[in-house]
Amino acid sequence: MTLDDIDTRVGSNFLDIVGVCSTQDSDALGDGSIVLLGPKEPGFWAHFTASPEYNDQSADPIDRWSTRTISQAADDLGATPLFPFGAPARPFLSWALRSGRAWSSPVGMLVHDRFGLWLSFRGALFVEQKLDASPAQPRPCDACADQPCRTACPVSALTSDGYNLDVCHTFLDTADGDACMTRGCAVRRACPAGADYRRVDAQSAYHMKRFHPCR
């Protein structure tokens, strides 16, 4: 099996390979590789919203969709599906850091060389072989002179000094918070590394509503 084989299979469900790392003893998976998967744009949101999980009015549609589609891909590829939700808890952030494609950003969130601060995971595949990962990339923040993420939050709830959850939620309850609620976090949107990775506003609004359901 090659990464191209995996990319072709998961791409049919608008999933993208966002990083690959070799396993370590602490992963308790055995010897092999972990292939991290995230939304493939453009097209992911339209694909997901046409799914039975999105339209059946039951809870946790995107997690149920991820479980179904990634488990089916794992069956087809002879791999083991892994998820960033449910039990057992999996160290997706550590895996991303080990992949050489993600780093800690100036505001603490992970930043990806291609997806910027829009990096997210729908799941992963464990395969019992060593896969050739993409060469490690330079951390995009090191070449970002302005680092606009540091000052993008309108109420300074998310800065290099940390994240004030209460201030964030209070702001989202105001009219001034509408842009974050409908287009996604201003800090994520400010990251130049993710400028070419376009998440549609409806997708951001969906996740923001679940993060801040009081609006």
User: From first to last of its 215 residues, what are the pLDDT tens digits of the chain?
Assistant: 899 999 999 999 999 999 999 999 999 999 999 999 999 999 999 999 999 999 999 999 999 999 999 999 999 999 999 999 999 999 999 999 999 999 999 999 999 999 999 999 999 999 999 998 777 789 999 999 999 999 999 999 999 999 999 999 999 999 999 999 999 999 999 999 999 888 899 999 999 999 999 76
How far, CA to CA in Å, does 26 sit from each of 80, 90, 153? 17, 11, 36
The reported pLDDT for the residue numbered 215 is 61
Closest CA to 203 of 112, 120, 107: 120
What's the pTM value of the predicted model, to 2 decimals? 0.95
The reported pLDDT for the residue numbered 83 is 98
Q: 68 and 39 in contact (C-beta within 8 Å)? A: no
Angle value at C-alpha 97, between 4 and 45, nearest 5 degrees: 55
The reported pLDDT for the residue numbered 63 is 97
- Residue 62 contacts by C-beta under 8 Å, 6 or more apart in sequence? 48, 53, 54, 122
Q: 117 and 187 in contact (C-beta within 8 Å)? A: yes
d(CA 112, CA 101): 6
d(CA 146, CA 15): 31
The reported pLDDT for the residue numbered 137 is 85
Angle value at C-alpha 84, between 72 and 113, nearest 5 degrees: 100
Q: What is the CA radius of gyration of the chain?
A: 18
- Dihedrals φ, ψ of 91, to 5°? -85, 65
